[in-house]
Structure 1
Amino acid sequence: MSVNKDFFELHRDFNYDLQSRGTPSVGWDQAGRLPETLVPTHCAFCGCQCGMFLRVTNGQVTGVEPRNFVHNRGSLCPKGIVAYQQVNHPDRLTYPMIRRGGKGGKLERASWDEALEYVAQRWQATQERYGKDAVAVYSGSSMTNEKCYLMGKFARVGLGTRHIDYN
């Protein structure tokens, strides 16, 4: 199932794709200055990275519309259509949490520095005790080829592990 861009034509004021026409479009930095605008971007739910517009109203993401991009041709899958909902979802974590007091302990808010230090120490301790290959890296399907390459490089060079899996 997909929704084609033509479906939206009667329901919006933006009847063209500024990116496709070669005209500079409004960027995210300017989106908050206008009452409503479309910001060109790409869907991050899979490696296809379909072209899409985020509808921004008074500085808040309020919707998404398909963009006439090379491979999605103005269509979005069901995941892409609801992609904008994760941005302002009330259950979305926007900060790290650390479980204090071991198993069964409460999750508490932590600073980014504290969380990264915690993870790095745990990785190092695990590798010192069980060897470099005691840790593994898993990359999701939303990553582009370039991001997968960097993740593999991080695993092999940064962590020294050979256990890498890509979805």
Structure 2
Amino acid sequence: MKFCPDCGNNIEGMKFCNECGYKVNSDVAVKKQEPTQKVDTNNSEQELLKFSTYMFGLENQKAKVGGKFDLSIPQFNYTVTTERLIIEKQGVVSKNRDDVELYKIKDINVKQGLKEKMMKVGDIEIISIDKSDPVVTLKRIHNPLDVKETLRSAVRESKKDMKVSYREDL
């Protein structure tokens, strides 16, 4: 596979990088090993769980548009570390990343209808005290109850490590 020398995006069979617009020359494009993402900033953060939006078997599929362009289906990728939840949206042209610190999460809810229960898919709603996005919904997650429990345990450990406590008015 060939990757863009500017941004590292896959440019196999393209004339321009769909991420940064770099003009691809067959001589300039370099082969690159598995792109790595540095999550560990001070050797204390570890990856606990990695999952993505369940696309019913359409993950990493491409559709031909106008017979010329390959467009991939937008997908959300999630990573739970010991300190945060990383949400990445990989679209056709852009890539967005949002982080939610685990100690800021107040509540985690799972929503499933009858059809979703049968397919073992559901939405996870995360309520936090994050100013930029206080309610985050992780849509179409496979085995959402297992993911919720893993996330809940990570949140409890993060709050314990940060010595964060709270009380509710009764």
TM-score by length of 1: 0.24
**Higher strand proportion (structure 1 or 2):** 2
**Higher helix proportion (structure 1 or 2):** 1
Report 1 or 2 for greater relative contact order, CA contacts < 8 Å, sequence distance ≥ 6.
Answer: 1
Asked which structure has the greater CA Rg, the reply is 1
